[in-house]
Structure 1
Amino acid sequence: MADDARVWRVYSKAARKHDKELLDQWNGTLDTLLIFAGLFSAVSTTFILDSYKQMQPDYAKEAFLLQLANASGTPYVAPSDRVDESARAINCLWISSLIASLSTALIAILAKQWLVFYPVSDRENLREWAQLRQYRFDALQRWHVPVLIAVVPVLLHLSLMLFLAGLVVFLWDIDTATMILAFVLSAATYGLYGFTTLSPVFWSS
């Protein structure tokens, strides 16, 4: 087929429109996720910096008990180094949440870097342009980039779920009423999330 055949102009016009809409959609989604992941990671880190202390020995308390034992002449018995199960659960959930959130940001940045190199610059020979564009489009599909971009929001949802679960455990020993409120709101949030996610499967018509 000749380089100046009409089919290349038609293909070029349709492909440019398709690619622009696709890249705008993907970049918009990734930008939003990056902003949320950054803010959420900062919030998670603040909670972790406070909660991880519960897994460390209270050195001030131990020093006080040691001085008290020396003053009274009684033998000093060091407290157990066993970590409280509640503190361990809280930190496991929140640290997992932070890792998932940071992984979201990392994958989103990688995806945006791939998308930067996807568009094909203008060429006088439309046949060469079409072949190069199709090669890059096939490469995106072969490397499952659309699937990877679709997984990014799921990672962020998982991160939020882990954080809320850790928040409920954190409030468990502090105040029952507040814990119940946090649990109900978290359950309602993810109940709505599950409904909106699965409803198209059952009501596709």
Structure 2
Amino acid sequence: VASYDYMLKYPEDERYHELGDEARIWKVYDDEATAFDNDMVGELSDSLDILLVFAGLFSAVLTTFMAQTSQSLSQDSTQLSASYLSELTMLVRANMNSTAILNIPLTSATFSPAILDLWVNGLWFTSLVISLSVALFAVLAKHGNIVFYFIIQQWLRQYMSIITGTPRERAFIRQFRFDGLEKWRVQPFIGMLPTLLHLALILFLAGLVIFL
């Protein structure tokens, strides 16, 4: 918040003009609002930058883990081929030795992944989806698109645009913008993103404990 001695900075208003277009109260409001908005938008922008970088790196690491563990959800084709080849060899030998073919164990084509593998991949996949969603929302809030433009982008990139007019008009326009910011709950929305990222990290750690 700006720290000024407004009694010295701005002259006292004429009598009956304390709420006029050029009144001191509007000038003080404009100065204080500008300082407040600079801090608020700067913090939101920095928070989005940090979230975007962390979510991107976390998603990359998580994808590397999932590329390895997801293989356990499907049957190993090499092992299956070896089993079929072994079965075929035993059938040939049984035919040559006149051995009963029914005694030869058949290779099972059915496959069921282990419960722990399902849990690990389920937790990590959920974590990856949450992390990518956070990164997506951070990008939309930071750079905007046609859907989110009037919800988030307008406030973070145009909220600080220059307002012309008398001090009273500038105060009204700024308050109108701030009311819109509160109406669309932009700050709580951005504040929710770190919580989602923490949830993704917890799910990843839970899957890592099971995996190890």
- 1:51 is matched with 69
CA contact (8 A) 1:8 1:130 kept: yes
Equivalent-residue separation in structure 1 for 2:43 and 2:211 (angstroms): 38
Equivalent-residue separation in structure 2 for 1:126 and 1:42 (angstroms): 50
Residue in structure 2 matching 1:94, options 96, 112, 124: 124
Give the TM-score normalised by the residue count of structure 1: 0.78
CA displacement at 1:79 relative to structure 2: 4.2
- 1:28 is matched with 46
- 2:160 is matched with 119
Q: Answer with 156-165 or 66-75: which moved more.
A: 66-75
CA displacement at 1:107 relative to structure 2: 2.2
- 2:37 is matched with 19
- 1:156 is matched with 197
Equivalent-residue separation in structure 2 for 1:145 and 1:122 (angstroms): 21
CA displacement at 1:126 relative to structure 2: 2.9
CA displacement at 1:75 relative to structure 2: 5.7
SS at match of 2:106: coil
Equivalent-residue separation in structure 2 for 1:164 and 1:79 (angstroms): 34
**Normalized per residue, which structure has more helix?**
1
Q: Answer yes or no: is 1:82 the counterpart of 2:112.
A: yes
- 1:109 is matched with 139
CA contact (8 A) 2:123 2:207 kept: yes
Equivalent-residue separation in structure 1 for 2:185 and 2:87 (angstroms): 65
Deviations 1:67-104 (A, max 9, x none): 11111104632243212111100000101111111121
Deviations 1:12-63 (A, max 9, x none): 1111000001111111122111111111010000001111110011111111
- 1:62-73 paired onto structure 2 within 5 Å: 62-73=80-91
CA contact (8 A) 1:120 1:129 kept: no
- 1:131-146 paired onto structure 2 within 5 Å: 131-146=172-187
Equivalent-residue separation in structure 1 for 2:53 and 2:80 (angstroms): 43
SS at match of 1:83: coil
SS at match of 1:4: coil
Equivalent-residue separation in structure 2 for 1:35 and 1:102 (angstroms): 11
Number of aligned residue pairs: 171
Equivalent-residue separation in structure 2 for 1:67 and 1:28 (angstroms): 60
Give the TM-score normalised by the residue count of structure 2: 0.75
SS at match of 1:80: coil
CA contact (8 A) 2:163 2:173 kept: no
Percentage of pairs with the same residue:
40
> Could you list the runs of 5+ residues in structure 2 that have no partner in the other structure?
1-18, 92-103, 145-151
CA contact (8 A) 1:120 1:133 kept: no
